[in-house]
Chains A and B, each alone.
Chain A
Amino acid sequence: MSARVTIATTLRVLRQLRRDPRTVALVFVVPPLLLTLFRYVFDGQPQTFDRIGGPLVGIFPFVLMFVITSITMLRERTTGTLERLMTLPLSKLDLLLGYALAFGLVAAVQATVTAAVAFGLLGLNVEGSIVVVVLLAVGNALLGMALGLLASAFAQTEFQAVQFMPAFVLPQFLLCGLLVARDQMAPALEWISYALPLTWAYDGLQRAVDGGDAALIARDAAIVFAVTLLALALAAATLRRRTP
């Protein structure tokens, strides 16, 4: 492992992103726009928007980083740059951490912009700390990144990688408790929801918005972090130096 190679990788990934201004614009503009859309969709039920708006600030980065990472890593595989890197003195951890730093940074900016729109312009109430919401959002982005890295190992084409988004992300989004309280679901689904990381991410966000118990927020964040590490370890195992 080498900090020099990790940082070089982070800078390289950020430089690639900068070369694609449209993607950068989408990353920073789409979440606030979607949140605004939610605000007016629930125009007649402001209490619903008050309930889901805050947590959404921290869920968008999860969805987005999943997509961006799975496609970026798939490109590394298909263009042969991953094979070149595997012949060089670069450890897999350097590569994964390099990605994590770059996307973590992007997620932090994205969550800050979204939070500013949500709690500023759209007037969402927050009892707790906005900083905690943004920090949790970055943690969720890293979870999305780790799952995206893992998913990319199972995709052979970009079409497949894009389809993994609804397959991996949408069920978690439906079951996490954001749209419908989990105890209103069929009992089997409620149990399944506890096995999904986004459920804990959502709980943490909701507590952070409502000014809930700090110890419980820390527990939720720790669960999300543990799943992130597990997914990263599995992703590292799928990054083979030798391939057929």
Chain B
Amino acid sequence: MGLLGPSGSGKTTLMRAIVGVQVIRSGTVEVLGLPAGAPELRHRIGYMTQAPSVYGDLTARENLDYFARIVEAAPERVEDVLETVDLIRLSRRPVRSLSGGERSRVSLAAALLGRPDLLVLDEPTVGLDPVLRRDLWNTFHRLAEAGTSLLVSSHVMDEADRCDELILIRDGRILAQAPPEELLRSTGTDWLGDAFLVLVEGAS
């Protein structure tokens, strides 16, 4: 599931509400059949924040060792997720010395550790080179086929058609929720960027 919208449209707020760290002013959020933020969910959700939330003074491996102990993941999982995000080679360097893209991959690896049922990833592919971006999307598809639900946000439209279903959001309101092909068909466009524009103009 892709969550698309411009900066400031409310993507991060929605994701934080789902993982249970956002103060919700009105309404309710239910996740995997439980109210968002329920303690039982903390074993079942993996969350990757937009800014890499890992300890800069520790190495990737040390960061992952710590988070693995919290989510009770087997020690081998650290190796697995390092491989998934292609960081084995850099895993013994302090995260602070890594590039922005590498740092966010450490953060993504931490979210994958506990094999969560739901992965909430806030702009996971920002600043990555195209090859790695493609590989990560392949990983996301593999996880989805294995039964993991993924909610991935992006403000880049060219990532949208990689998702099975899209939510378009603007100014805190959901404009549309449908598979990409259906959005194209219903708006009579052949690019999702145009579809988004048609929907924005239709709403205003």
Contacts and interface: CB of A to CB of B under 8 A. Distances in A.
Interface of A: 4-5, 8-9, 11-12, 15-16, 19-20, 79-81, 83-90, 241-244
B45 A87 contact: yes
A19 B51 contact: no
A12 B37 contact: no
B137 interface: no
B20 A12 contact: no
Contact of A242 (B37, B49, B69): B37
Contacts of A244: 22-23
A243 B23 contact: yes
B55 A12 contact: yes
Nearest to A76: B55
B79 interface: no
Nearest to B25: A244
A-B CB proximity, top 5 nearest: A80-B53, A8-B69, A89-B42, A84-B53, A19-B57
B42 A81 contact: no
Interface residues on B, range: 20 to 34
B67 interface: yes
21 contacts: A4-B72, A8-B69, A12-B58, A15-B62, A16-B55, A16-B58, A19-B57, A20-B57, A79-B53, A80-B53, A84-B49, A84-B110, A85-B70, A86-B21, A88-B42, A89-B39, A89-B42, A90-B70, A242-B21, A242-B23, A244-B23
Contacts of A19: 57-58, 94
Nearest to A242: B23
A88 B20 contact: no
Contact of A89 (B20, B55, B70): B70
Nearest to A18: B57
A85 B62 CA distance: 15
Nearest to B53: A80
A10 B58 CA distance: 14
A87 B55 contact: no
A15 B58 contact: yes
Nearest to A94: B70
Given A89-B39, A89-B42, A242-B37, A83 B62 contact: no
Interface string B22-60: 111000000000000101001101010101111111100
B21 A241 contact: yes
Contact of B56 (A4, A5, A79, A90): A79
Contacts of B72: 4, 89
A15 B42 CA distance: 25
Nearest to A4: B69
B71 interface: yes
Contacts of A81: 53-55
B42 A87 contact: yes
A8 B20 CA distance: 24
A242 B70 contact: no
B176 to A, nearest CB: 28
B19 interface: yes
A243 B53 CA distance: 16
Residue among A9, A11, A84, A85 with the highest chain B CB neighbour number at 10 A? A84
A88 B120 CA distance: 13
Nearest to B96: A19
B24 to A, nearest CB: 8
A12 B53 contact: no
Interface string B66-83: 110111100000000000
A79 B107 CA distance: 12
Nearest to B46: A87
A15 B45 CA distance: 27
Contacts of B67: 84, 88
Contacts of A90: 42, 70
Given A15-B58, A83-B53, A84-B53, A241 B37 contact: yes
A242 B22 CA distance: 5
Nearest to A90: B70
A9 B70 CA distance: 9
A5 B73 CA distance: 12
Nearest to A95: B70
